[in-house]
Amino acid sequence: MNYIRQVFRHLKKDLQLEWRSRDAINGMLFFSLLVVVVFSIAFDPTGNPTTTRQISGGILWIALLFASVTALNQSWAREVRNSVLDAQRMAPAPASALFLGKALANLAFVTAVELVLAPLFVVFFDVHALGDGWLLLAIMPLGTWALVVNGTFFAALGLRTRNRELLLPLLLFPISVPAILSMVNATTDVLTGDVDPIQPYFWLKLLAAYDIIFTTVCLLLFETILHAE
Amino acid sequence: MQSSSGGVRMLPVQLESPSRSVVPRVAAALWSAVAVVVLIIGFRQAIFLVPTEATMGNVQRIFYYHLPSAILGMIFPYINCAASLAYLFLRRRDPWKALGADALAVASAEITVIFVSIGLLTGSLWAKPAWGIWWAWDARTTTYLVLWMLYVSYLLARRFSGGNDQGHTLAAVISVFAAINVPISFMSIRWWRTQHPAPVFGGDGSLDPSFYPAVWWNLAGWALWGFLVLGLRYSLERRRQRIQEEAALEAIEASLEITQ
């Protein structure tokens, strides 16, 4: 109970800070919009509606992946300023509560970006789900959590290294391969709707398993990262 | 700070002295001699003795170099993971042993990258004449590429995080992540590719027993070579650590002399 309260307090602090500055959300939002526009230059979205439908799931996730990397790199920066992180290290609260609060806050930010990006996708690429559209309500949060939980962890890991801006994608992308595979395939299956309806559930289950495994690993190892020296 | 006449007594660091005994050197020399002999036998078997494969011809002989690298590239990650777990366990209990585990981890990660790179390159060289393309995104090549990416990113992260205790801890944590991720990506990519049917390529099934000598001699030879390089890289890293520790100790002693 106490643990949940500590997580909630960290979450509230991060949300409050973000509400005052709105740096992460604004940056991510514009960045992902730019990625979508650049992709629409790379191929003709209105000329080939079938192709667009087949690849727009991948484009959506790539835009979100890049955008969340830019925000995750900054998410620990405000802890470093004024040596807040050293204070957190000395605090009697469990380290994993700090991590969980931060990851949940990042989840909220990326979800906010998705809520704006999804209508834009419908407008720009003229996509609508031919399969069970409501499945996206499960795919999006699970996929976002898969990116955000590992991303928050590796951003913390890279804090005291050289080239930390570069290190995060270098570590995050290879580790995320199974998750990216699942969320892109699940989203594409829902959008195209031309596969047998069991398939999205299969990818959804894989994504959930990935989330559970890596959330556990992150929570177990975060203390080692925080006190690594 | 107390005077040098009493109080502070510097304890000798608990380091093993650099081994003067000839046993490891002789063992390494013998081991490398055996490795070279086995590799020569393997080369003779693979290139001259084993019968030419019926459909692919001489191109198939690259398989005797592809298979050992591919198999060994999947064995050394286990050593890396075990050594990293040992490091995380030992780092507060026995720092010098923990550094040994870290040396083993970096050595095995580098050898993993070497073997997986050779596996990927030879596979690609074989794929061009056999399949007509350099790279097919089938399950096995894709999983292998992911394995390569994981350990290259591990080595890059090591380089970025500096050669101190903090860097070792971060590297060990990344290694644990990579080790957990390997089976998940292997299975997920296999499911991905089996659901989108790809052409079933040859070479997956049985191997005629007349090819066995080339396979076994080369596998043995490259395994001997791999563990030899692992040992050499480990002892090199161990020496670097010892020099670093001695330099740190001298710096501490020097600073004590000045401040008295």
Per CB-CB distance under 8 Å, the chain B contacts of A199 are 195
User: How close, in Å, is residue B40 to chain A by CA atoms?
Assistant: 37
Three-state SS for B53?
A: strand
- Candidates A164, A184, A224, partner chain B, best to mutate (most B CBs within 10 A): A224
pLDDT of residue A105 exceeding 60, the answer is: yes
Question: How far B148 CA sits from the closest chain A CA (Å)?
Answer: 9
- CA-closest candidate to residue B71, choices B138, B144, B135: B144
Nearest-by-Cβ selection for B188 from A162, A164, A178: A178
Q: DSSP state, B163?
A: S
Residues of B in contact with A178 (CB under 8 A): 181, 184-185, 188-189
The Cα B189–Cα A184 span in angstroms is 13
Integer Cα distance of B256 and A98 in angstroms: 40
Cβ contacts of residue B175 below 8 Å, gap of 6+? B80, B81, B84, B105, B109, B154
Determine contact: B196 vs chain A, CB below 8 A: no
Q: Alpha carbon of B250 to those of A9, A210, B212: distances in Å?
A: 47, 48, 57
User: Token digits for B163?
Assistant: 């050669």
Per-residue pLDDT tens over the stretch A137-188: 899 999 999 999 999 999 998 888 888 888 899 999 999 999 998 999 888 8
- pLDDT tens profile A118-146: 888 888 888 877 877 888 889 999 999 99
How big is chain B, counted in residues?
A: 260
Measure in Å the smallest separation between the Cα of A21 and chain B Cα atoms. Answer: 30
Cβ of A174 and B153 within 8 Å?
yes
Per-residue pLDDT of chain B (260 residues; tens, 9 = 90+): 333 444 444 444 555 555 567 888 899 999 999 999 999 999 898 888 888 877 777 878 888 888 899 889 989 999 999 999 999 999 889 888 999 999 999 999 999 999 999 999 998 888 888 778 888 877 778 888 999 999 999 999 998 887 778 888 999 999 999 999 888 888 888 777 765 444 333 444 566 777 788 888 999 999 999 999 999 999 999 999 999 889 989 998 888 876 65
Q: State the pLDDT at residue A39.
A: 85
Which string of DSSP letters, residue by residue, matches B9-34?
-PPPP--PPPP--SHHHHHHHHHHHH
Nearest-by-Cβ selection for B173 from A181, A202, A224: A224
Q: Tell me: pLDDT of A222 over 80.
A: yes
Amino acid at site B2: Q
Mean pLDDT of A76-99: 87
**Do A181 and B146 lie within an 8 Å CB cutoff?**
no
| Integer CA distances (angstroms), B19 to B15, B53, B94, B235, B246, in order | 11, 50, 20, 11, 15
Residues of B (99-158) whose Cβ lies below 8 Å from A: 146, 149-150, 153, 156-157
- Torsion angle (degrees, nearest 10) of CA B127, B133, B136, B140: 0
Which has more confidence, B20 or A27? Answer: A27
Taking contacts as CB-CB distances below 8 angstroms, the residues of chain B near A175 are 150, 177-178, 181
The mean per-residue pLDDT over the stretch A30-34 comes to: 88
Contact between A138 and B144 under an 8 Å Cβ cutoff? The reply is no
Q: How far apart are CA A19 and CA A25, in angstroms?
A: 9
A174–chain B nearest CA distance, Å: 6
The confidence score (pLDDT) of residue B175 equals 94
Query: Residues of A at the B interface (Cβ-Cβ below 8 Å)?
Result: 150, 157-158, 160-164, 166-167, 170-171, 173-175, 177-178, 181-182, 185, 199, 202, 206, 209-210, 213-214, 217, 221, 224-225, 228-229
Residue A227 pLDDT: 86
Subunit contact A178:B189, Cβ cutoff 8 A = yes
> How many angstroms separate the CA of residue B259 from the nearest CA in chain A?
26
Can you tell me the distance from the alpha carbon of B254 to that of B256, in angstroms, rounded to the nearest whole number?
Answer: 5
Rg of chain A (C-alpha set): 18
The H-or-E segment that residue A71 falls in is helix A49-75
Proportion of chain B in helix, strand, coil states, percent, rounded to 5:
75, 0, 25
Q: Report pLDDT for B197.
A: 43
User: Among residues B248, B220, B225, B79, which one has the least CA distance to residue B151?
Assistant: B79
Contacts of B51 by beta carbon, 8 Å cutoff, 6+ apart: B210, B211
The residue behind tokens 């008295």 is B260
Residues A12 and A104: their CA atoms lie apart, in Å, by 10
B185–A178 CB contact, under 8 Å: yes
